[in-house]
Structure 1
Amino acid sequence: MENILGPSIKRIRKEKHLTQKDLGKMTGFSQNTVSQHESGSRVIDEKAILKYSQALGVTPQELFNSYLVKESLEKDRFIKDPSQTNIDNTVDILKKLEEPRQQNVYNYADNQLKEQNGKVVNLPLVGKSAANPTELTYGDVEIEHDDFTDVPHGADTAIRIQGDSMEPLIHDGQIIFYHQQEEVENGEIAIVEIDGDGVTCKQICYDYTSDEVILRSINKKYEPRRVKDDQVRIIGRVIL
């Protein structure tokens, strides 16, 4: 019969740290015959297969299974999954990009995965909120709707922050999320309107002795701002 099991015999022999001479002694074959069997240059019959199986401590079926595994691995070298090819090509390109561009690719891929998994939420996006102790955002509030991923639990509105007073927690230009409510606890970060003129993002602290609200910045270079309680309207609690 055609010899297709020679490579399997050779592999298992090496795994068991046997030489061709050792295997020859165990099977009664000469070292030259073992070599020819392993290379496939000599036909191997059923009796020989049985002798090799007994000597190597495996069944004839296990020899054949080993052959099938080898064939499968060989095919995988030439027949590659198209999706895996796309992954490999993308990784190769990613390695050539500068770090900021790598981050852009990651962010895009992460958003694609979340969209695929149905984790996109459509929320109203408020124009801008000032995070600056000397500025407020004036005029009519512009509201549009947009799709977002990574929306914190409980958030119902998004807003884009303007200014650096809440850094490093919240950065200039960052979109954050909040839950619309009229009250917040002492020390929570909120979106607030002051005197009906403008909107800002600040940490809220209450001074009950003077009926004042202290608007604190995270950025230590800005001093806290104190305003009367009736001058402040809480719009919502920021959820990070």
Structure 2
Amino acid sequence: MAGRFSSPEFDAESARARNLVGARLAELRRSRGMTQGQLAAALAPFGVRVQTAAVSKWEKGDSVPSAYQLFALCHALDFSAWADAFGDPSFLPDPALNPEGQALLAEFRSWLESRRRYRVLPAHPAPLVEMDVSLIPASAGFGEALDNNEFERVSFPSASVPEGADFAVRVHGDSMEPVLSDGQYAWIRKCAGLRPGEVGLFILDGEGYIKVYSEQDPAPADRDAFTDSSGILHPQPVLVSCNGNYAPKPVPAESEFRIVGRVLNG
């Protein structure tokens, strides 16, 4: 028995051979003035974290998005309906109409689309700016990646990039919720020092952290390690999470620690 949404004019094998999904995805992305990198970034809030290369493969037909990734694409590209994005409107008929009513609806839609006054006019694309984005998130191995200059160039709407930002890195985990979320871009301005209370990007023994910077008096056993050659005792850095489920992390005296920069959107 034919399915409710079946269409004798649709053939999945033929559609795959013609790269129907990839071609339509590329068309819709371009119509919204987005680069492949911007689309990849726009998927993160919907639970899909992919690199620019994945979007490129989808559009070329080298691979296809999963059903859930396809739904995320619909949200990221602000599709009004699944049918509007990937097929003829008749592919998903209105269950409230009989075949004659569906035919009239399709005919009326065609008439509306032929009239300029009813069509959505393309918006002027926002000015873009290319920025460096770390290839790995702020997590294990980040220090080595930063030292090796492992970045990719990604285009962003200029209005979305804070003034003074040098590069971006993806947040890893939920320790900075609700200020910064997993997969979100943190925009970094390079600097060598921070004031207590500022959010920064740090490298501690090779691992990247995005935390609130704080300080405390060193424990008696660590005082010598935090005293410089002039006899001045320096405070011990402490990395604090915004999420109360994570305890503050004092920086051990014997560790390799450095401040990379200030988070501008934290």
Q: For the superposition of Structure 1 and Structure 2, which TM-score range results when normalised by the shorter chain?
A: 0.3 to 0.5
* Structure number with higher strand proportion: 1
Higher percent of residues as helix: 1
